[in-house]
């Protein structure tokens, strides 16, 4: 039986632990400092609450608070399942153990690095001894994966053989990963789609002067924002030497479509589109909820605008101004790219 190590016990890692359980893998879950309560409950109940339902775990899944508990095992795969706040912790954990297996990164995001921006995989390569790094991208809602809904994601690695190893471990009758060597493009899509899903969510408040009733549809407006989002994602990916074809695949258009349909990013956009200020939303309407798109635009928005120019990414610029300066979101449709 293959041994799998999962670092972090967040929403995404919970879905993949469930997948590995289905595949009859032995999984060791080490919680980050943010996961101590969840680890304790999982140990006690052999399950965890997700969206008011129980996710049950077999005896093949064990939960730990300390890496020392499992450091002596040999692993076929290590999965990084932390949010952006746990990246430093995860890299420190990797430096504490011997590993020659692939590292699968579930974390989506970009990091500031001096005057530029780096991907999460680049951060791990520079701060750990890990070389066999694979990034998971593409549409993968945790709740649907847990329910065994057919899911097609992308496993990206500069060495396609490493991605093939991960695919063999994860693939089953409902999880269908594609492979790509364009890890840079896949990671940038996985991160920036959160920014653009937020803006598409704003369609309800930005669709025009005639929309007054709560029952009005906003498909025309959302479609136009979706098109502009893909144009800007193309520009960003190309600038950082990724492939345009990746933007048009599951990691780009596919993931953006899923994220725009609902979730935390589009909900943030809905409130912004209705005229609420960012601080009002995070302190009241969405208090305690992590919104990746908002956090990313605050973290790297100024660098993106400086590197690419506001004329090339106008929608990202509109969102940055609204969130950074806590002003009403204003989308100037005249500035869209033709």
Domains annotated for the chain, with CATH where assigned, are 3-180 (3.40.50.720), 183-335 (1.10.1040.10)
- Is the full-model pTM beyond 0.85? yes
Please state the rounded mean pLDDT for residues 175-184: 97
pLDDT 10s digits, 266-309: 999 999 998 899 999 999 999 988 899 999 999 999 999 999 99
| C-beta separation of 133 from 124 below 8 A | yes
pLDDT 10s digits, 38-83: 999 999 999 888 877 789 999 999 999 999 999 888 999 999 999 8
Report angle CA 75, 78, 82 to the nearest 5 degrees. 150
Residue 248: CB atoms within 10 A of its CB come to 15
List strand residue ranges (DSSP E) for the chain, in order.
3-7, 26-30, 47-50, 53-56, 61-64, 77-80, 103-105, 110-113, 116-119, 133-137, 154-156, 178-180
Cα separations (Å) of 106 from 45, 64, 188? 25, 19, 13
Give helix 292-308 / helix 264-273 axis angle, nearest 10°: 70
Nearest-angstrom CA–CA distance, 176 and 171: 6
Measured over the CA atoms of residue 55, residue 172, residue 131 and residue 290, the dihedral's sign is negative
pLDDT 10s digits, 4-28: 999 999 989 999 999 999 999 999 9
Nearest-angstrom CA–CA distance, 102 and 134: 7
Measured over the CA atoms of residue 62, residue 30, residue 128 and residue 182, the dihedral's sign is positive
The phi, psi pair for 62, rounded to 5°, reads: -120, 150
| C-beta separation of 57 from 42 below 8 A | yes
């Amino acid at each position: 039986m293959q041994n799998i190590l999962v670092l972090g016990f967040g929403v995404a890692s919970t879905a993949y632990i469930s997948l590995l359980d289905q595949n009859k893998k032995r999984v060791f879950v080490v919680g980050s400092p943010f996961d101590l309560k969840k680890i304790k409950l999982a140990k006690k109940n052999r399950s965890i609450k997700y969206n008011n339902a129980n996710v049950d775990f077999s005896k093949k899944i064990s939960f730990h608070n300390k890496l020392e508990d499992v450091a002596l095992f040999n692993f076929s795969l290590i999965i990084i399942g932390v949010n952006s706040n746990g990246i430093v912790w995860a890299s420190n954990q990797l430096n504490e153990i011997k590993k020659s297996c692939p590292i699968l990164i579930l974390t989506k995001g970009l990091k500031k690095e001096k005057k530029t921006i780096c991907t999460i995989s680049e951060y791990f390569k520079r701060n750990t001894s890990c070389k066999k790094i694979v990034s998971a991208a593409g549409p993968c809602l945790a709740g649907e994966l847990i329910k065994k809904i057919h899911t097609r994601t992308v496993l990206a690695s500069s060495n396609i053989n490493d991605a093939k190893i991960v695919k063999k471990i994860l693939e089953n009758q409902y999880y269908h990963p594609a492979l790509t060597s364009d890890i840079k493009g896949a990671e940038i899509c996985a991160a920036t789609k959160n920014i653009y899903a937020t803006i598409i969510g704003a369609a309800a408040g930005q669709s025009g002067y005639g929309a007054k009733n709560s029952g009005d549809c906003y498909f025309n407006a959302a479609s136009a924002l979706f098109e502009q989002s893909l144009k800007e994602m193309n520009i960003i990916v190309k600038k950082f030497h990724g492939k345009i074809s990746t933007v048009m695949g599951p990691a780009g258009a596919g993931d953006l479509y899923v994220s725009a349909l609902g979730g935390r990013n589009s909900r943030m956009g809905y409130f912004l589109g209705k005229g609420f200020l960012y601080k009002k939303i995070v302190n009241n309407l969405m208090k305690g909820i992590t919104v990746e798109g908002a956090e990313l635009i605050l973290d790297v928005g100024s660098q993106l605008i400086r590197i690419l120019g506001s004329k090339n990414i106008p929608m990202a610029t509109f969102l940055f101004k609204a969130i950074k300066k806590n002003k009403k979101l204003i989308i100037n449709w005249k500035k869209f790219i033709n």
